[in-house]
Amino acid sequence: MTMIEDGMIAPLLLFLGDAPDIGWAKTASGLAQWRPEDCAGQYRLAGCQVDLGLPDMDFAAARAAGVRTLVIGIANDGGFIADSWVPHLIAALGAGLDIAAGLHERLADHTEIAAAASEAGRSLHDLRQPKRVFRPGTGKKRSGLRLLTVGTDCAVGKKYTALSLEREMRARGMAATFCPTGQTGIMITGRGIAIDSVVADFISGAAEWLSPPADRNHWHLIEGQGALLHPAYAGVTLGLVHGSQPDAMVICHEAGRTELQGYEGDFACPSLRAALDVHLAAARLTNPAVRGVGVSLNTSLLDEGAARDALKRAEDEMGLPACDPLRWGAGAIVDHLARTFPA
């Protein structure tokens, strides 16, 4: 039994709704990938195009199998509770499950869901809303080392890159701590802050809180959010960049993506060089010594040969090591990081 944040209890049943593709189910797939021991099954509605390879369970079967919490594992644009989910969520409560979610809209604010939870004596866990009050950023330098993953777009692998770096660095005996900034990372680790959900004035202050002063050789590996060249989310990104005061940045991209996801026809995906440069320029405000240390490519759309080619091209273009952390590990970036910042 694992407790996270304000008490979401495993084992977990992952609610996939009618997700049309894996991009919509990134919270569920993140849990399945990074916390597999706690994921007992998946629950899918008609039309769902995602299969995480977990047993399909209805709520009674899940409860009988010991499941404690139904996790809403999908994220829609805007983070609201879709009407089509509501009868299923109420049924889950009636079957004895708690519900956890990382949406902007709170379960506890939804009249029908809140009433059903109260009647069934079950708990609702809203993990996206900060439980703390923050202050404006100070810009004051903190001790320790920080790496922030940044991207050409949303959903390009910033979280997985930071998690993979943590795994690799710890395997080498380096002091490293993954700092989640979104609901999936919070659900995976039981810590962190959904930086896109704080009051706008306090983005950088919340980011400062997230990676406090630390030992000289300790790396905070901060999950990036959004992208500076994104028309919707760049404000979140900039506050996170300023508050994180990164010493190092890894630029993340999905190989083959040419337009911003969800903004096709309106916004092109920037080049690796343009994207890294704009993040470095912004980061210099609070850490003039910041440097790019690697490229992380999600090559899942490519076969092995094409993926190797894409990594080689990225290395040549950027003069930095390029990895697909999930496919072949993040070792080359950690090698370069260790050389660039010797203990």
Q: How far is the CB of 101 from its own copies (least distance, A)?
A: 15
Largest Cα separation within the chain, whole Å, is 61
Say which residue the tokens 């899918």 belong to: 44
**Judged by CB, which is closer to its own copies: 152, or 286?**
286
**Judged by CB, which is closer to its own copies: 201, or 304?**
201
**Judged by CB, which is closer to its own copies: 232, or 338?**
232
**Judged by CB, which is closer to its own copies: 176, or 238?**
238
- CA pseudo-torsion sign 64, 65, 70, 74: negative
Q: How far is the CB of 288 from its own copies (least distance, A)?
A: 12
Residues lying near its own copies in the complex (CB under 8 A) are found at 77-79, 104, 135-140, 195-201, 203-205, 228-229, 231-240, 242-243, 263, 266-267, 282, 285-286
Residue 282 CA to residue 150 CA, distance in Å, equals 12
Q: How many of the other CB atoms lie within 10 Å of CB of 200?
A: 8
**Judged by CB, which is closer to its own copies: 137, or 157?**
137
Residue 148 CA to residue 125 CA, distance in Å, equals 28
Q: How far is the CB of 161 from its own copies (least distance, A)?
A: 21
Q: How many of the other CB atoms lie within 10 Å of CB of 124?
A: 20
Q: How far is the CB of 23 from its own copies (least distance, A)?
A: 15
β-pair partners for 12: 39, 69
**Structure tokens, 145:** 């080392």
**Judged by CB, which is closer to its own copies: 103, or 165?**
103
Q: How far is the CB of 11 from its own copies (least distance, A)?
A: 30
- Answer for the pair 52, 28: CB distance below 8 angstroms, yes or no: yes
Which one-letter amino acid corresponds to residue 112? Answer: E
Q: How far is the CB of 225 from its own copies (least distance, A)?
A: 9
Q: How far is the CB of 130 from its own copies (least distance, A)?
A: 10
β-pair partners for 250: 149, 294
**CA-based nearest residue to 31, from 246, 134, 170, 182:** 182
Counting every residue, how long is the chain?
Answer: 343
Residue 14 CA to residue 32 CA, distance in Å, equals 9
- Helices 234-244 and 203-210: crossing angle in degrees, nearest 10, is 40
**Judged by CB, which is closer to its own copies: 130, or 331?**
130
Q: How far is the CB of 98 from its own copies (least distance, A)?
A: 25
Residue 158 CA to residue 244 CA, distance in Å, equals 15
**CA-based nearest residue to 298, from 251, 241, 237:** 251
**Judged by CB, which is closer to its own copies: 77, or 303?**
77
